[in-house]
Homo-oligomer: A and B are copies of this chain.
């Protein structure tokens, strides 16, 4: 059974920990004050804001070798809410994968609000986590954690699709901030 380590104890880190916990997976939830604690999980979720990822990689990068690393970020310019801060032809996930060549990097959870992970629903439909990545086994492991926790998981393709997932996350955040959707709604996946 996959063991998760989650770096970041904010809303998203806690919500993902709860999903894994519901599925019976051991979870290590590490905050900023746990910098000296070794990562024990096979799957490591970077549940920190995008601007904090570089520091996490600088501090923890070597210990992430051989692990599945899950990028959940939405790399928005939160001052303007009008652009992403990653190059248009790249993605946060692609940059993280480039910085962690010994890890299998996935993009996931950036299109699901914490409230929909907790509730298991986006309005009347089940919450679906979209996963992009280049390693089929890694995607399957993460999907197993998600489905064991009562949510749906959909393979959204190669890690290059992270660009579209980040665009979706960006759009969804602007809709929520603009009160066009609620934080328990958003863009849901209907099979």
Closest to A124 in B: B124
B residues in contact with A175, CB < 8 Å: 154, 156, 189
Does chain B have a CB within 8 A of A160? yes
List A152-191 residues whose CB lies under 8 Å from chain B. 154-158, 160-161, 163-165, 167-168, 170-171, 174-175, 178, 180-182, 185-191
**Beta-carbon contact of A188 and B125 below 8 Å:** yes
Name the B residues within 8 Å of A180 (CB-CB). Answer: 154-156, 191
Number of interface residues of A (CB under 8 A): 36
* A186 CB contacts on chain B under 8 angstroms: 189-190
B181 touches A185 (CB 8 A): no
Interface assignment of A27: CB less than 8 Å from any CB of chain B: no
CB distance from A172 to the nearest CB of B (A): 9
Contacts of A161 in B (CB 8 A): 171, 174
The answer to the question of A122 belonging to the interface, with a C-beta cut-off of 8 Å to chain B, is yes
Is the CB of A1 closer than 8 A to any CB of chain B?
no
Query: For chain A residues 40-72, which have a beta carbon within 8 Å of chain B?
Result: none
Q: Is A123 an interface residue (CB 8 A)?
A: yes
Cβ-defined contact, A123 with B157, below 8 A: no
The one of B164, B182, B189 in contact with A191, judged by C-beta atoms closer than 8 angstroms, is: B182
Known: A122-B190, A182-B191, A190-B181. A164 touches B171 (CB 8 A): yes
Q: List 24 A-B contacts (CB under 8 A).
A: A87-B88, A88-B89, A123-B190, A124-B124, A124-B190, A125-B125, A154-B175, A155-B180, A156-B180, A157-B178, A161-B171, A164-B171, A167-B171, A168-B171, A168-B187, A175-B189, A181-B189, A181-B190, A182-B191, A185-B189, A185-B191, A186-B189, A187-B188, A188-B189
